[in-house]
Chains A and B, each alone.
Chain A
């Protein structure tokens, strides 16, 4: 028998030995592709392999399991939003160990093989645990990635007073707030000069930093952990590079992610960091596609090769791959390396496109009030918008994203972009 559980109906032409479409990975990209395939091909069997034991869920919601605001069953993907396709066969707890691209089969741990006509690699990514930090295998050390991680973290909270978060990115901030809500003392240890350094520059983050401080989060910037101290109860403290030590019962590592490509070791699938996908989400051989965190794609403004680890991007690329797999040739429009919207500590923000401007001769406009901040970035010639950060007031952010992505000439709307008064009405009347 297959390990883990199965759900969904098999298509008419599925056999035990073959599935027309195989999708390796059951999160954003994989499930978006599966549902897209189902829209265009009602008959072909779709089998999704997911290593996790949980049925596919909305991964970005897992901090709510830590805070206790949501239960796992409230986060199930199937039937919610656009994920209403039927007859998608999901095998959970099923790890694809290898792919034979010549014979078009996958080998699944503990349950033999399955043949395919078309395959999507959507194995996502996993947390990066810096090897220079010693003792990360202790009990009470977490890298929040899966629902299982979130459950374990929630449990550890019960016996913890203080949590130390290593890394100042969005994931750790969300985790930090979940823990604050549970009544823990939380300290963020950030190597960079400021939090959210991937999404904005230190001078942009001021309002958010103020809100974090106000919320009671302790932040230590410019320092790193060297090792995690533990005994048989698990974590008891963290040693820092400047010699200090902090006692704590929990450590969360949020130091970015790495793509899950190892299952393709020894195959002929081209890997360059992640799985290299062309403009049509296809790999370097026929009938193989890649999408999501694991795929190397391109940035629409610069054309540079990039990898991102964002739900929204993964869904978009997964949908595109699904179309291509179902025989509808569709070009992927690429993705911004930075494309984030969220709210931390009652401060909404959007960061998109090119926002790291130090040492570049971009044309930059900043505007700050007590409660809002924005930075809009144009190319050096000042003819195109290439990036924007909005904090506090994110009105019409989608319109600015559209202007960046479509590389629109901005001569006639530049004033509105700088003043943050752009609205769609200007496009409708043609008076721009």
Chain B
């Protein structure tokens, strides 16, 4: 059975260039072009966030589409559901902007669209093969992969480091 892909973050690779946030906002704009997006009202929103940690850490944060998604169960209007690919989706028509999802998301990755009074989040770019943020990342800090493949690569990398440290 094919495993769905997810967005992984390599915090040590992020340089804080914010290319991911721009690409995300453009992908979620009406025109889907940078110049079109910046002139739209309301301004298209990014669903990926890059937070800064003193002294020089940058951490991209994006919805993890949690297995037992707290937002989905907390939603009081039935607006949040999981699609067949495991992606947790907010149905904008059903959302009433009560922000209960914002109150229960431990990662702080659900945004509030103030003009439309709706919650929004990463939808893993349903129209694209690879999510826009991942495509845009110039340093490989964002990775689109399956859990098995990604963890395999992490293991391989760790073994190499270990061997090198032992002089192998």
Contacts known (A60-B76, A83-B78); A398 close to B57, Cβ less than 8 A:
no
| In contact, A81 and B72 (Cβ under 8 angstroms) | yes
**Closest residue to B79 on the A side, CB-wise?**
A81
Distance between Cα atoms of A40 and B50 in the complex (Å): 38
Chain A residues with CB under 8 Å of B105's CB are: 398
Q: Which of A395, A397, A431 contacts B54 (CB 8 A)?
A: A431
Encode B43-83 as 1/0 by CB contact (under 8 A) with A. 00000010111100111010000000010111111111110
Chain A residues with CB under 8 Å of B75's CB are: 81
Distance between Cα atoms of A64 and B11 in the complex (Å): 44
How distant is A263 from chain B, measured CB to nearest CB, in Å? 26
**B side interface size, CB within 8 A:** 40
Q: Which of A58, A82, A395, A402 contacts B76 (CB 8 A)?
A: A58
Q: In the complex, which residues 87-106 of chain B have their Cβ closer than 8 Å to any Cβ of chain A?
A: 94, 96-100, 102-106
Distance between Cα atoms of A429 and B104 in the complex (Å): 22
How distant is B57 from chain A, measured CB to nearest CB, in Å? 5
Chain B residues with CB under 8 Å of A301's CB are: none
Encode A77-109 as 1/0 by CB contact (under 8 A) with B. 100111110000000000000000000000000
| In contact, A428 and B76 (Cβ under 8 angstroms) | no
Encode B92-126 as 1/0 by CB contact (under 8 A) with A. 00101111101111111110100001000000000
Q: Which of B9, B103, B117 contacts A394 (CB 8 A)?
A: B103
**Closest residue to B68 on the A side, CB-wise?**
A319
Any B CB within 8 A of the CB of A148: no
Encode A348-365 as 1/0 by CB contact (under 8 A) with B. 101010000000000000
Q: In the complex, which residues 303-323 of chain A have their Cβ closer than 8 Å to any Cβ of chain B?
A: 311-312, 315-316, 319
Distance between Cα atoms of A394 and B76 in the complex (Å): 18
Contacts known (A339-B103, A343-B98, A398-B105); A429 close to B81, Cβ less than 8 A:
no
Q: In the complex, which residues 393-430 of chain A have their Cβ closer than 8 Å to any Cβ of chain B?
A: 394-399, 401-402, 423-426, 428-429
Distance between Cα atoms of A364 and B110 in the complex (Å): 27
Distance between Cα atoms of A341 and B100 in the complex (Å): 5
Contacts known (A397-B103, A399-B107); A423 close to B51, Cβ less than 8 A:
yes
Q: In the complex, which residues 112-147 of chain B have their Cβ closer than 8 Å to any Cβ of chain A?
A: 112, 117
Distance between Cα atoms of A74 and B96 in the complex (Å): 12
Contacts known (A58-B77, A60-B77); A350 close to B51, Cβ less than 8 A:
no
**Closest residue to A311 on the B side, CB-wise?**
B76
**Closest residue to A398 on the B side, CB-wise?**
B105
Distance between Cα atoms of A75 and B96 in the complex (Å): 12
Distance between Cα atoms of A395 and B105 in the complex (Å): 11
Q: Which of B61, B78, B104, B109 contacts A312 (CB 8 A)?
A: B104
Encode A238-279 as 1/0 by CB contact (under 8 A) with B. 000000000000000000000000000000000000000000
Chain A residues with CB under 8 Å of B100's CB are: 312, 341-342
Distance between Cα atoms of A394 and B77 in the complex (Å): 20
| In contact, B81 and A84 (Cβ under 8 angstroms) | yes
| In contact, B98 and A426 (Cβ under 8 angstroms) | no
Q: Which of B9, B82, B117 contacts A343 (CB 8 A)?
A: B117
| In contact, A424 and B106 (Cβ under 8 angstroms) | yes
Which 6 A-B residue pairs are closest in the complex by CB-CB distance? A80-B78, A425-B59, A425-B51, A341-B103, A396-B108, A60-B76
Interface set of B (CB-CB < 8 Å, partner A): 9, 11, 49, 51-54, 57-59, 61, 70, 72-82, 94, 96-100, 102-110, 112, 117
